[in-house]
Structures are given as C-alpha cells and as structure tokens.
Amino acid sequence: MKKLYLLINSLDIGRGGLTKANLQQANILNDLGYDTSILTFNYNGDYQEIIKEIYSIYNLNSKIKIINMYDYFRNEENTIEYDNTYENLIDKNVTVEKVNNSALRLYEKGLYKKYITFREDKSIRGIDYFSDSRHRLKSEFYTYTGYVGKVSYMDYNFNKPRQMTFHNSLGECYMSKWVNPENGKATKINIIQNNIIHQSFKNDNQLKTHFIEEIIKNDENPIIISDARNTDNIMIDVKDKHVKKNIRLHSNHLSPNGEVAKTVLPALENLGNINSLIVLTNQQKEDIIANYGYSEKIKVIPNSIHTLSPNEVNKFKRKNKAVVISRLVTLKQIDHIIKAINLIKKDNQEFILEIYGTGNELENLKTLVKNNNLEKNIIFKGYTNNPLEIYKESLFSITTSKTEGFSLSILESMACGTPVISYDFNYGPQEIIDNNENGLIINKDNIKELSENIVYLKNNEKVLKEMSEKGVEKIEKKFSTERVKREWFEFIENMKY
C-alpha cells in the first residue's frame, strides 16, 4: 500500500479554505485505498481536543492519522491528567482582578504577579509570571489535560521568549530551544531523552525536516504533498532519495500588484527539485509554465465537492437574501459589497445580505454598515461550520476577492444550486462559472456594476432558477468528488519512481 503524507503547519477549528481542502484531500486519498497521514508542525496544548473535533466536524475518516511534531517527540502513549483550574490558585492572600470572561490578574500583597487565561471549564490555559518591577519573567502553557506542556522564558528588554522548554505529563523536558527574541527564530534546539541530549538542530526548519525523515524512514516509496507554503522548504530538504516530493498551491502565485508572492517563491524556484507542482486551475498552470517552464511537472487537480441532484436542489426553500461566506480580510474586499448594497437600499429595503465569517476587518465592516444606516439590510452572522446549509436557503452569493487560488466558496455555492455574482479575478471564476449561464462574472472592482447585478438577480426568479439548474450540472460534470477522485488516482498511479 502506498503511503501518502500531507504537510500543513497547523490544524484548528474555524479555519478557511486551506484547512478544508487539506482534509478533503486526505479523505479522497484514503477512499482510494492509500495509507494517508497529515503531518502538523506547530505547538498547541489543546491539540488532543482539537483533533477529536476535526474528525467530527469535517467528517475526517478515522483511518487517517494526524501526527503532530511535538506530540511525536513527546513520545508519550498514556498522558496523565490533572485537575488544574484557576480557582486552585486563589486563596485569602491573593487579590483577584477580572480582565474578561477568560482572563484575570493575581496580586500578592498588592504586587501584580500573575496573568492567567483559562478555558470555559475554568481549566488553566496559560500563566504569565511577573517580577516586582512588572517585567514578565516566564509564560507557562497548559495542555487540555492539565499539565504544563511548554514554558517560555522572557528576554528582559524585548519581553519575548529567549528560551523555551517542552514537557510531557510527568514534567520531564523532551525539547529545549534557544530563541532570538528580536525575530522569534530558534537558534539551537535540543531533543532530550532521559535527561540526555539526543540530537541538536540549528533552527526550526532542520527540526521539522528531521521529523518528516523520522516518520518516513521505514517506507519504501513515500509520497509527500506540501499543502502550505511554510512547509515547502522543509519538504524540499528531506534527504530520503526514495521520497516523491509534491507541492500543492491553494492560492494565486501572484500578489494583487502582479509580483510573485514571496511565500510561493520556494515552490517555483525549486521546480527542478520536486516531482510535481499541483495547481487548481488550467489558467494558473498556463501562467506558471509561461514564466518558469517545466510543463511536464505542472499538474491540475481542482477542489471537489459532493454534488446534489436537480430534484434535491429544487426542494430548497430560498429566502429573500444574498449571502457572503468568507474570511473578513482586505483581500476579500467585502466593503465593495456593502457599498453596492448602499447604492440600491432605497428601492430594495426588504432585501437582506448576510455575512458569515471572522477576520481582522470585521470591526471596520461593521462601522461601514453603521455609518450608512444599513443595519437592517446587512447582518453579520459570525463563523459557520456548515456553509452548505446557508447557501441552500439563499437566492445567490457574492464574491469580490482581489485574487484567489480557486475560490472554494464559488464551488460550494453552485453545488447547492445557488448562483454566484463574482468579480473577474485570477483564479477560479472563469473555470467554474459560465458567465450568464450558471452565474455572473463582472468587471473587477466595479461597485456600480455589482449593485446593478444584485438587483438583476434579485428581481429575476426565472433567471435564478435556470442558473441554479445549470450550475448544479456544471459542478457535477467537472468538480464532483468522484471525478476529482479519479484525477488523484491517475496522478498517484502515474507518478514515476
């Protein structure tokens, strides 16, 4: 059985398209009969609980292994659990100041000594310790099972870690790091076993590459697919001569100003050192070949989705609303949609736009809505783990990104028979949407045109129905799970050894 490893720096609940695509890809490869694992590289004391939720929320097959680097080096089969709640730290000699619902400060004889963060069940998440002169001395990070898994010792001048230690549930140190407090980069890492330094590394990338080499060392012909740009270099540095190295791009390789994105450079500059570069659209493939060559190495395998029959789609009860499901960041240009709604609000007072998602632009977008008196027309709904249910009850969805690698939201919307109004950006809209047949592609950054097309779709039930039916047909034909599964099978089986 072929063994496949998908690399992604971290996994968590509430993430965007990259996490969804990674987990979907793992399920597809597992369904094809391959022994599939996901390797992650970040430290997170809550990983045990997060992984349980990932299997449940994303329907990840239980045969797929998720192996975290720190858990691997911790090498602890049975974890001891502790009852560590913040209440255990409070006695009559301590003064408590509540900061919010998940943090508080502790004072001893009036001196600020500890800053504590905690979970909903009152278990300690972390403790910062302070000197009498209020300099942070160290930070302890507690795992979900109640023990201190990581300790950061702070630099006096920068108030950032200078040294870190990592511990198992017995309190034994299995790894230590020296860190440059100016840039956060590790300068020396020790792997410790039974109080003996077993191995040392000069930086995090060396450690991560070693972790991969340890995982695959007994495999005959392992296949690795790097899903995140911060895992490309560490995969490329793997020394095992039998390993097949592949990079999968989920984003546009160009920044909005047309320059090659720095994060993608290692992938493009190392085409000669990898087996293949997998992209999501033919348009991106052509653009990369035009600039870098290696036509035989650039493969196209799009994202996929479970498709519905037209009869199922016709039964959905649509509400008088449009929907946006997106990360709320500047790249997505959600403010354009708000401005478009503002242009038409006078004659469309009953029409609703729902915005699902989180991000650093949330407060700015809420302010824009408030300043234009759009609170009754535009509603922020927070993050959703179930976008398909949202699309099913909406007339249409809207996408206004500056740039994308594919736009999973367009795929999900059309799979539910919900047409999309999309800006014409690279990449995705031109390959998923057939303009004026199953959706609308409009000129990028044209807010007036966007507002006009919102009104057009809202007021044309017949057009919406036709676009809905044709959209479902298009997704079934080109992006169904079964079709994309066959493409992955052909890719893996035709890989040269």
CATH of the domain at 146: 2.40.128
Whether residues 457 and 320 share a domain: the answer is: yes
Strands (E), 345-443: 352-356, 378-382, 396-399, 420-423, 440-442
Instruction: Confirm whether 493 is domain-assigned.
Output: no
Note down pLDDT in tens along the chain; length 497 residues. 899 999 999 999 877 788 989 999 999 999 999 999 999 999 999 998 999 999 999 999 999 999 999 999 999 989 999 999 999 999 888 999 999 999 999 999 999 999 999 999 999 999 999 999 999 999 999 999 999 999 999 999 999 999 999 999 999 999 999 999 999 999 999 999 999 999 999 999 999 999 999 999 999 999 999 999 999 999 999 998 899 999 999 999 998 888 999 999 999 999 999 999 999 999 999 999 999 999 999 999 999 999 888 888 988 999 999 999 999 999 999 999 999 999 999 988 889 999 999 999 999 999 999 999 999 999 999 999 899 999 999 999 999 999 999 999 999 999 999 999 999 999 999 999 999 999 999 999 999 999 999 999 999 999 999 999 999 999 999 999 999 999 999 999 998 76
Query: CA 77, 218, 12: angle at the middle one, nearest 5?
Result: 50
Contacts of residue 475, defined as CB under 8 A and 6 or more positions apart, other chains included, come to: 305, 307, 411, 414, 415, 432
**Coil, strand or helix at 411:** helix
Whether residues 375 and 471 share a domain: the answer is: yes
**Residue 362: how many CB atoms within 10 A of its CB?**
17
Whether residues 296 and 315 share a domain: the answer is: no
CA-to-CA separations, 150 to 81, 86, 135, 166, in angstroms, rounded: 16, 18, 19, 4
How far apart CA 79 and CA 491 sit, in angstroms, is 40
Instruction: Enumerate helices (H) and strands (E) in the chain, giving the number of each.
Output: 16, 23
How far apart CA 407 and CA 403 sit, in angstroms, is 9
How far apart CA 248 and CA 224 sit, in angstroms, is 10
Whether residues 291 and 328 share a domain: the answer is: no
- Using CA of residue 363, residue 364, residue 367, residue 373, what is the dihedral sign? negative
Whether residues 291 and 344 share a domain: the answer is: no
Classify residue 443 by burial, with Cβ atoms within 10 Å: 0-12, 13-18, 19+.
Answer: exposed
Q: Which of 272, 300, 328 is the last residue of a domain?
A: 300
Query: CA 439, 477, 425: angle at the middle one, nearest 5?
Result: 40
Q: Which residues span the domain enclosing 150?
A: 86-169
What is the secondary structure of 133-175 as a DSSP string? Answer: T--EEEEEEE-TTSSEEEEEEEPTTT-SEEEEEEE-TTS-EEE
Whether residues 455 and 323 share a domain: the answer is: yes
CA-nearest of 192, 216, 190, 218 to 203 is: 190
Instruction: Confirm whether 187 is domain-assigned.
Output: no
**Coil, strand or helix at 466:** helix
Whether residues 330 and 389 share a domain: the answer is: yes
Cβ atoms of 237 and 231 closer than 8 Å: no
Is the entire prediction scored with pTM above 0.95?
no
Cβ atoms of 37 and 60 closer than 8 Å: no
Which residue do the tokens 């504590």 mark? 116
Whether residues 441 and 414 share a domain: the answer is: yes
How far apart CA 164 and CA 159 sit, in angstroms, is 14
Cβ atoms of 472 and 414 closer than 8 Å: yes
